[in-house]
Structure 1
Amino acid sequence: MSKSAVPEHTYEADLRLLQIELVKLQHHIIDKGKRLLVIVEGRDTAGKDGSIKSIVENLSPRDTRIIALNKSSPREEGEWYFQRYIAELPAAGEFTLFNRSWYNRAGVEKVMGFCTDYQYKQFMATVNAFESLLVSSDIQVIKYYLDITKEEQAIRLKDRAKDPLKQWKISPIDQKAQKMWKTYSDARNKMLKQTSSTLAPWTVINANDKKLAHLNLIANLLTRVHYPNKNKKILKIDPKIVLTWAADSKKLPKLSK
């Protein structure tokens, strides 16, 4: 993994301040019965696990849920596609994070041929309406896509293969990530363009530097939610790390190719 531009002591100090804000946010969610859903998608090895860990590290495990669903069972394959995700949506007072989500269909399933062309088109045609229904039902939906360069992914895949503590992360899909890079890029671009709605827009995080990605993602998240006594002075966001654009814009921000 490439060396971070942020010294460890600076990272830990800044992260602590942001995590204190996350605790304030959680108190507000619980007190007011709010429902917050954060979706974390991205390239293989982009750091989804680490980003989520940096968010939930000091939050209440009773009121924070991390959802990372396995492959669909034979019964689930015969259900409405969104059905198994609905059971995992946040209840009142809960903060839920999806480590990959229904957008598997627009990414991995599409690229690897795990769904039919009809299933993919049906998903793309209905997901905005589905998320609109969630938002109109008072679930705040925030979507992040973690992006890295092909070169950085190659480094991380090699590191993962060498690290005995990360063997569980290695999969046949990961092994094809480099060979199918362009196909994944095309699927990502189409997904971002068609599913970034006004009610549930995508925010892209440049995740080549994991520490900068963690700090900027959390700061961005905190700016987008309401809670009392917010310390706005520490919510500094680097526009080179957090890439946002108008939901109705046809031009995507600068992404890895």
Structure 2
Amino acid sequence: MKPDTHLTEPSDIALEDVHPCANCGARPLGVCADLKGHELQHMACNSETVAVEAGQALFHEGDPNPFVFNVVEGAVKLYRLLPDGRRQITGFLFQGDFLGLGSRGLSTVTAEALTPLQACRFKRGDFDQLLNAMPALEHRLVSLAGDELMAAQEQIVLLGRKTAKERLASFLIRLGERQQQLGGEQHHVVLPMTRLDIADYLGLTIETVSRVMTQLKTSGLIRLLPANDIEITDPDRLRALAEGAA
């Protein structure tokens, strides 16, 4: 919840005694990564913590959304529904990811928790003021936006040119790299999403995703583990396949 603490000069603050931002696992990869002392305190005073269960939405497509969010724990899927009811998942977000900034009118996507989720929520106007007051925050957000643009360009290539095998290989490689950034085990991929979610993200059918998973397993590229986890047993070959070089 929003801390009831007035702003103080940096020399008067022991951050660890004021707010859990200092020990937040999302901070190294989040928008607040470059903030120090009183800047983190200022962020804390303008945010509140929200928690939702798996399957619940932070916001829905078409609804007014006066907030922006930073994911502290858990995973989120973003999706849009076509008029005929088909679903296109546009992305998966994890600890440290930021969402909601582009939707200044009605929300263009639904953001649904894949796992129990905790996020910092900011009123959009308050966050705009934080950006104006803290250049480090603005620079960090621009950097993250650049990374997001590159990911969107990769997704266009994936959907437009890659085969089903190449799409799934690319997905597993990218997801594994992201989870390793968060402290996960190398070559061990946790899938918080269902195979249907993966299919709707990669532009495939669930039957195709299941068939390709089996093919990758039979080829010795991956091993299917309990609890929907995957071990990448031949990362070099899987990466070559993802890049169309296999």
Give me the TM-score of the superposition, normalised by structure 2. 0.26
Q: Which has the higher contact order (CA 8 A, sep 6+)?
A: 1
Bigger proportion of residues as strand: 2
Larger radius of gyration: 2
Give me the TM-score of the superposition, normalised by structure 1. 0.25
